[in-house]
Amino acid sequence: MACASVVPPGNPAAGNTLAPIRPGVPACAVEYVLFHEMLHLKHPTRRSGCSLVSHSPEFREEEKRFPAYARARKYLDRMA
């Protein structure tokens, strides 16, 4: 029986993959997703008490610096 390894979200070893890009997805949304994932390298998941924090206040602050943040989030939020 194989043992499952537990890798925190945002860890490059987690094997995050991007789904194929659908036709019509704005470039700003694709670029934002890449920017967001790269921020996980700069702001790794950390432990806070019994929880894991993948999106710290510092992460969220820097994420909002993406030039087309509002437009990309609006598009992605509609897809959810």
Q: What is the pLDDT of residues 5-46, one digit of tens each?
A: 344 555 554 555 555 677 888 999 999 999 999 999 999 999
Contacts 24+ apart (CB under 8 A), 45-54: 45/8, 45/9, 45/10, 45/11, 52/8, 52/9, 54/8, 54/9, 54/10
In the predicted structure, residue 1 carries a pLDDT above the cut 90: no
On whether the CB atoms of residues 34 and 72 are closer than 8 A, the answer is no
Whether this prediction's pTM lies above 0.75 is answered by no
> Which pLDDT score is estimated for 9?
53
